[in-house]
Amino acid sequence: MNIQGKVFVVTGGGNGIGRELVLLLKAKGAKVAAVDIDEVALKETVKLAGGTKDISTHVVNITDRAAVEKLPAAIIKTHGAVDGLINNAGIIQKFIKVNDLEYKDIDRVININLYGVIYMTKAFLPHLLKRPEAHIANVSSMGGFLPVPGQTIYGASKAAVKLFTEGLHSELLPTNVGVTVIFPGAIGTNIAAHSGVVMEGMSASNSTIKMTPPTIAAKKIVEGIEKKKYRVRIGSDSVMMDRLCRLMPERAAKIIYSQMRSILPD
């Protein structure tokens, strides 16, 4: 898919990978509608992009289906069309076991990570099907194919995104709409803070885990769209654990457990 001149919608455009996607897409000649619940963060993204030329911002809670359903008309009114959708927005859960996780926290993770993707896809797909060439990219996670203790609900939501995206790909094979599922490993963003999760002594800046910079993650995602890839793995950790999960799934799960148990409450 040729990015130049296309109109892309990016959720989570105020921070992290989403912000880098907005900046990269604009640099490649696209028009971008950046969607986020954080208006201040969106303004910072626009500032980093050098102003509002070819960028529109939309403060929307993607778990609000009624609000999401109004988005296509607003974006098409501004940019004239929609050619691409990148469902990037997502949060993690508190690093605690399912037994100790409150239902309100479970609902929040599933609503943002899964229903937000479904709502956005349902809202924009009819418009994408009318375009000569279009694409949907959904961000799952390495945690969508690999169990991470303390992130079980997050992983379940991202595994659902994986299968939703793969099913969508199959349904859209006869159409002009390409579909890509993204599997980031550890990315150098402060997703914990943006998720409202307090991690004592841990952040993207001081973690001992090797992390992929969000600029590289954005580049991989855009390349995947350009090449119409079925799946994109981001980071050596995602590539390695994907292979190990296929060969020795229980062994892979134990490796992650041994790495995570020190921060998991008893």
Which structure tokens are listed for 100? 């100790």
Beta carbons of 22 and 49 less than 8 angstroms apart: yes
Residue 230 falls in the annotated catalytic set:
no
Which structure tokens are listed for 113? 């990570």
Whole-number Å distance between alpha carbons of 156 and 43: 32
Which strands form 31-36's sheet, in the order they lie side by side? 55-59, 31-36, 7-11, 84-87, 134-139, 177-184, 231-234
Please state, as a whole number, how many other Cβ atoms lie within 10 Å of the Cβ of residue 101: 16
Give 55-92 as a DSSP string: EEEEE--TT-HHHHHHHHHHHHHHHS---EEEE-----
Catalytic residue among 103, 119, 154, 230: 154
Q: Which residues are catalytic?
A: 154
